[in-house]
Homo-oligomer: A and B are copies of this chain.
């Protein structure tokens, strides 16, 4: 069994690649919920939805987030009522938020609510919230400390980041079970933003030590390619944190938690520096432009993990 840690859109791509080459009972996708928040009384879980929509094949690849064929009537009505939100709520996407909120209000855990949504979307692989408790991520910026979505969506990542604060708290029972599963073959950290997407998962109670004491190989895929982030504000944040924009910084961030790092052809020159940290490298094409590329990278990641036993 494979345990993969993922954040939003970036991680969702490799997550769907992994799903294409592993049976549902052979893959557990643990997803960041540090971005979750409430809007108009609805529980919104952007990263869970990004992974679910990607696996269901109904994500909008062009826009980069949300559902394909989306419409925005409700948003427009809210705007006309003077209550427009900086967070975009598509009419179809709203159905997801409504069902999740109904389920949570009825007493279900986020794990159970997510399972129900996955069934409704025809997703058979397990998508597991990192925690069933609220564990919001806060971003310290030159505008002060901001809730994640205010930094990420409202301010569009413009404020200069000085640090990121995680809530910690208990990981979900299903996440703990996956970590302890005797059938576990490998742990994969998807090419999500380490600070914003993977950091919140690692910060949960006991997760860092469980990853340190792992009995199976752990590999990460670098979200930095050729001195830039494939998606999102990672490179910008690295600059603001005065960290070199290279896979070496990714390797340092995960040092002690991974045995191998998959890096792009363009970053071949960083191999020695990364290997000096005691982390093996695998050099390949890491930019996943289509489903075939996602499946191919996933297979390479798993093969690479297999060599690290």
The verdict on A73 contacting chain B, using a C-beta distance below 8 Å, is yes
Alpha-carbon gap, A73 to B76, bound state (A)? 13
Name the CB-closest residue of B to A122. B81
**A43-78 with Cβ < 8 A to chain B:** 71, 73-74, 76-78
Q: Which residues of B contact A102 (CB under 8 A)?
A: 39-41
Q: Does A203 contact B (CB under 8 A)?
A: no
- Knowing A41-B98, A81-B99, A99-B81, say if A92 contacts B120 (CB, 8 Å): no
Cα distance A44–B95 in the bound complex, in angstroms: 16
Please give the distance in Å from A309's CB to the nearest CB on chain B: 41
Report the interface size for chain A: residues with CB under 8 A from the other chain.
Answer: 28
Q: Give the residue name and chain of the B residue nearest to A78 (CB).
A: B95
A231-253 vs B, CB cutoff 8 Å, 1 = contact: the mask equals 00000000000000000000000
A105 in contact (CB, < 8 A): yes
Question: A71 contacts which chain B residues (CB < 8 A)?
Answer: 71, 73, 91
Total identical chains: 2
Contact of A83 among B77, B94, B95 (CB under 8 A): B95
Residues of B within 8 Å of A39, CB to CB, are 102
Q: Is A172 interfacial (CB-CB < 8 Å)?
A: no
Please indicate which of the listed interface residues A101, A102, A105 has the most CB atoms of chain B within 10 Å of its own CB: A102
**CB-nearest residue of chain B to A81:** B120
How far does the alpha carbon of A102 sit from the alpha carbon of B117 in the complex, in Å? Answer: 23
Is the beta-carbon distance between B77 and A95 smaller than 8 angstroms?
yes
Residues from chain B with a CB closer than 8 A to the CB of A96 are 77, 81
> Given A83-B120, A95-B81, A121-B81, A105 and B73 touching (CB < 8 A)?
no
Write the A83-126 contact mask toward B (1 if CB under 8 angstroms, else 0).
Answer: 10000000110111011011011000000000001001100000
Chain B residues with CB below 8 A from A74, complex form: 74, 91-92, 94-95, 98
Taking CB atoms and an 8 Å cut-off, the chain A residues in 120-156 that contact chain B are 120-121
- A27 and B99 alpha carbons, distance in the complex (Å): 39
Q: Which interface residue of A95, A117, A121 has the most chain B CB atoms within 10 A?
A: A95
A40: contacting residue among B92, B98, B120, CB under 8 A: B98
B98 touches A42 (CB 8 A): yes
Residues of B within 8 A of A182 (CB): none
Residues of B with C-beta under 8 A to A95 = 74, 77-78, 81, 83
A74-B94, A77-B96, A81-B121 known; 13 new pairs, CB 8 Å cut-off, are A40-B99, A41-B98, A41-B104, A42-B98, A71-B73, A74-B74, A74-B95, A77-B92, A78-B98, A78-B99, A81-B120, A82-B120, A83-B95
- Could you list 21 A-B pairs, sorted by A, with CB under 8 Å? A38-B105, A39-B102, A40-B98, A40-B101, A41-B41, A41-B42, A41-B104, A41-B105, A42-B98, A71-B71, A73-B73, A73-B91, A74-B92, A77-B94, A77-B95, A81-B95, A81-B120, A82-B120, A83-B95, A91-B91, A91-B94
